[in-house]
Structure 1
Amino acid sequence: MRALFKNLKGDKAIWGIVALLGLFSFLPVYSASTNLVYVLGNGTTVGHLVKHALLLFLGFGIIYGVHRIPAHYFKGLSIIALPIVLLLLVYTLTVETNIGGVRANRWIQIPFIGVNFQTSTLASVVLMIWVARYLAKIKDTTITFKDSILPLWLPTALVILLVLPENFSTAAIISFLVLVLCFLGGYPLKYLLSIVGAGLVLAAMFLFVLFKTPEVIPGERAITWKSRIETFWNPDAADKDSTHQPTLAKIAIAQGGLVGKGAGKSVMKNMLSQSTSDFIFAIIIEEYGLLGGGALMFFYLLLLFRIVVVANGAKNVFSKLLVMGVGLPIVIQAFINMAVVVQLFPVTGQPLPLISMGGTSIWMTCLAIGIVLSASVKNESVGETSPEIDDNNPLEVLSGQL
């Protein structure tokens, strides 16, 4: 064990924050899993706890493995991974998937082990690495919008369009993050403003069609989107329905008070259908109160601070953009999840990173953290601005050239 800790490289504060979040997650997951057991009749509380422990164990294995990879390797890996991700997204859309008898075409099932995998989460990480690679490549050149269509905006558009039909919130978050990363990477502001303007026009047209004639939108998700937006803008009507999830979440928060009811003493966990994932923050506040919820927010903000510190200390442009590109989404997703629980956002289906139960979310968050730690390892090398490239290693040659 001591030898293992000696091999943990990179930012120690990030290691500590991630470990604390992972350890804390056992408490709300074990408590909220009673909903799955006694309401839905699915397994046992101990079984769900063991499953969560295994998922976290594999996740930390991903962090350990990825953080040992030199950061510049991810340039070449993104070129290999992006076409694979696009094929996976197409496969996800075209193959009918059912989870618990409910249509769930944002997931695919991994053969032989029976684990459901959400391809859009992997696509988000890979796309952000791809964008960081491109922005680093053009950093010292004068770029026009036309020049960037094929290498930047076409792959971005393909990912977003393939994610959008089944996962509107994730597609919107990816779009926002790409724009933020482009801004940080020095992409011409006039082009970004034009893209934002065009996006707002398209969004307005989409919302008009969604509310006037939702039946013309292909797929079954349009009705769900319309319902979520309506209940967000008119919560009083939704409050009349005692089974409305945000309403139940607010009740849980109100019952939590300052210090909460105590671990495992939540009542609303058996009424919130997504108490182990999308609405787990409500259960945390009910059991640990405002102080517990505030402490959790503090650790996410501390994680954001350390991500910025690592990016600021990176020795080259690609590493800086890489850290921000894969690190920011973790914290943004966390605060979107919290905002949904307190009804500042419509329901999005975004889990709480490292806390919510679920394999894909945990693994992709751990993948992103591993990449951040990989970039921070290079920061520990004194006097090195870029790694030497091994001419006998094709992946290093590819990464160095691209």
Structure 2
Amino acid sequence: MKQLISNLKGDKGIWSFVALLALFSFMPVFSASSNLAYLGHGTGNTLGYLLKHLGHVVCGFWIIYVFHRVPYQYFRSFSRLLLPIIWVVLAITMIKGTVIGGANASRWLQIPFVGISFQPSALAALVLYVYVARYLSKTRDEPIDFIDSVKELWVPVFITLIFILPSNFSTAALIFSMVTMLVFIGKYPLKYLIYIIGLGVVSLAFFVLLAKAFPDSKFFSRVHTWESRIENFTTDKPDEDDYQIEKAKIAIASGKIYGLGPGKSIQKNFLPQSSSDFIYAIIVEEYGLVGGFGVLVLYLLLLFRFIIASHKANTTFGKLVVIGLGFPMIFQAMINMAVAVELLPVTGQTLPLISSGGTSIWMTCIALGIIIGVTKKEEEIAEEQKEAAKREEALQKLIDGQLLVDEESNNSDYSIEDKVSNPMNAVLNK
């Protein structure tokens, strides 16, 4: 264990808070999965869901370990190369979205021959944040021309959002908000940013008008869902989303100060998405205000470590990457909690590192791996480079040794053949 911990580089505070959130997630996920276990005449055994979540978390920590060992500067070029590929994947997802549980889930894409579904929009968000950080770090000390910034920065941003918006408004809105925050922190001219925000509002309004003009089009099918969620949030009209919110509020009210106890939630059997989108309500019901506030504090402490990591980063790109990948994670957590207590309409955003679901956990872990890579100290980087040099040297020695063995083998074979083909040589050698 000591050897394993010594191999973990970077900010130990981030490692600690991530581990605490991941470890805590097992209890509410195990409890809240009961409605899924009973769904479709199931047995009610939630052990399978717990093991599945365990697999997701273990794989997630392996992802963090792998990505934090990669020098974060490499991701500058990766973001530019991956963005066109991401657009193709998003286009395929928009056309051939997977249907899950009989519902329209066009935001999901199923990997052929594997049977695993994932949300490409989550990966697209990570790549886009790194791409924006790359652009801002490149133009940090230069005067920014608006037309050039539109071509290099905003066109890729809007192309990505166009592919995400029709099926997932909340994710598109979150990405646009976080990109806006990132470019503001990156000292993008404020007047240009106001133009872009205005263009974004006009584009969204135009999209809604097109949806009104073509109500039967599959491309605009989610617009009605957005309108109903906003209407349910602002009025008392009963709906499926209103049912979810009411059950979530009952769960939170039942928890009181200390909660009903681990595994003793009642509303988990009635609340849809209790192990993912509304898991915070189950946490408060079982662990009370103390548990709910404790989870909130952990996210705030993680945010505090992100701010420190950004301040300590040696490069502008490193500072912006920590902000661009870390802040959306915390903002998503706040949105999830706000939805559970009806401060916001239903959005479908999960609670990072706690909600069940492979895509959510793995994409969060990729972001954390890159952030931790930025926080590595100079001596840790030097140690990694030294270890890499040793591995290269050992590999070179192995190759050289193999070549020497092959050469000796060839010489030996030649000597035998020579002796057989020329007996006089054998006599002279004697």
Asked if these proteins are the same fold (TM beyond 0.5), I'd say: yes
1:219, distance to aligned residue in structure 2 (A): 3.1
Instruction: Letter of the 1:258 partner, please give it.
Output: I
Aligned mates of 2:42, 2:171 — CA distance in 1:
28
1:151 aligned to 2:152? yes
Report the equivalent of 2:232: 231
- Structure 2 CA distance for partners of 1:230 and 1:193, relative to 1, 3 Å: same
Amino acid at match of 2:133: A
Matches of 2:297 and 2:374, distance apart in 1: 24
Q: Which residue of 2 aligns with 1:132?
A: 133
Worse-superposed segment, 37-46 or 346-355: 37-46
CA distance 1:27–1:325, shift in 2 (3 Å): same
The 1:71/1:209 distance shift into structure 2, 3 A limit, reads: same
Give runs of aligned pairs for residues 1-400 of structure 1, distance below 5 A. 1-41=1-41, 44-203=45-204, 215=215, 218-234=219-235, 236-238=236-238, 244-378=243-377
- CA 1:214–1:246: 2 relative to 1, 3 Å: farther
Counterpart residue type for residue 148 of structure 1? S
Give, as a single letter, the amino acid of the residue that structure 2 aligns with 1:260: G
Give the secondary structure class of the aligned counterpart of 2:237.
helix
Rg: which structure is higher?
Answer: 2
Distance 1:55 1:232 in 2: 33
Rounded to whole Å, the distance in 1 between the matches of 2:271 and 2:207 is 31
**1:316 and 1:363 mapped to 2: Cα distance?**
26
Partner-residue secondary structure (3-state), 1:377: coil
Distance 2:35 2:242 in 1: 14
For 1:311 and 1:81, how far apart are their aligned partners in 2? 24
3-state DSSP class of the match of 2:143? coil
1:87 Cα deviation from its structure 2 partner? 1.0
Distance 1:45 1:348, change over 3 A: same
Change (3 A) 1:256 1:198: same
**d(CA) in 1 for partners of 2:189, 2:379:** 32
CA distance in structure 2 between the aligned counterparts of 1:343 and 1:93, rounded to whole angstroms: 30
User: Residue 214 of structure 1 contacts residue 223 of structure 1 at CA under 8 Å; is this kept in 2?
Assistant: no
Query: Cα deviation per residue 1:182-221 (whole Å; 9 max; x = unaligned)?
Result: 00111111101122233334445656777x7682764321
Gaps of 5+ in 2: 383-388, 390-430
State the Cα distance separating 1:77 from its structure 2 match.
1.2
Distance in 1 (alpha carbons) for counterparts of 2:201 and 2:138: 29
The SS at the match of 1:273 is coil
| 1:395 alignment counterpart | none
Say which SS state the counterpart of residue 215 (structure 2) adopts: helix
Superposition deviation, residue 382 in structure 1 = 9.6
Take 1:287 and 1:18, find their aligned partners in 2: how far apart are those partners?
A: 21
- The DSSP-based 3-state class of the residue aligned with 2:118 is strand
| Matched letter for residue 169 of structure 1 | S
Q: Assess if the C-alpha contact under 8 Å between 2:259 and 2:287 holds in 1.
A: yes
SS class of match (2:323):
helix
- Whether the aligned pair in 1 keeps the contact of 2:255 and 2:286 (CA below 8 Å) is yes
Which shifted more, 219-228 or 255-264? 219-228
Q: Alignment length, in residue pairs? A: 381
Aligned to 2:392: none
**1:51 CA drift (Å):** 0.2
Task: Specify the code of the residue in structure 1 equivalent to 2:358.
Answer: G
In structure 1, C-alpha distance between the alignment counterparts of 2:5 and 2:25, rounded to whole Å? 22
Aligned-CA RMSD value: 2.1
Q: Distance in 2 between matches of 1:208 and 1:342?
A: 31
Shift in Å, 1:286? 0.4
Counterpart AA for 2:298: F
Structure showing greater relative contact order (alpha-carbon pairs closer than 8 Å, 6 or more residues apart): 1
What amino acid does structure 1 have at the position aligned with 2:257? L
Does the Cα contact within 8 Å between 2:232 and 2:241 map onto a contact in 1?
no
- How much has 1:151 moved relative to structure 2? 1.2
**Distance in 1 of aligned mates of 2:67 and 2:381:** 22
Contact 1:71 1:378 in 2 (8 A): no
Structure 1 residues 223-232 or 296-305, which shifts more? 223-232
Displacement of 1:100 in angstroms is 2.5
Distance in structure 2 (CA, Å) of the matches to 1:231 and 1:213: 23
Query: What TM-score, normalized to structure 1?
Result: 0.90
CA contact (8 A) 1:214 1:222 kept: no
Contact 2:34 2:268 survives alignment (8 Å): yes
Q: Percent of counterpart pairs with the same letter?
A: 51
Whole-angstrom distance in 2 between the partners of 1:147 and 1:128: 19
1:198–1:80: structure 2 CA closer, same or farther, 3 Å change rule? closer
Cα gap change, 1:158 to 1:242, in 2 (>3 Å): closer
The one-letter code matched in structure 2 to 1:299 is L
Given that residues 90 and 121 in structure 2 are in contact (C-alpha distance below 8 angstroms), is that contact kept between their aligned partners in structure 1? yes
Higher mean displacement: 109-118 or 34-43: 34-43
Task: Using the TM superposition, name which of 189-198 and 366-375 deviates more.
Answer: 189-198
Q: Hey, what does 2:421 align to over in structure 1?
A: none
Q: TM-score, normalised by structure 2?
A: 0.84
In the aligned structure 1, how far is the partner of 2:119 from the partner of 2:91? 13
Higher deviation after alignment, 143-152 or 41-50: 41-50
- Distance (whole Å) between structure 1 residues aligned to residue 165 and residue 346 of structure 2: 16
What code does the residue aligned with 1:356 have? S
Instruction: Quote the offset at 1:159 in angstroms.
Output: 0.4
- Asked if 1 retains the 8 angstrom alpha-carbon contact of 2:97 and 2:108, the reply is no
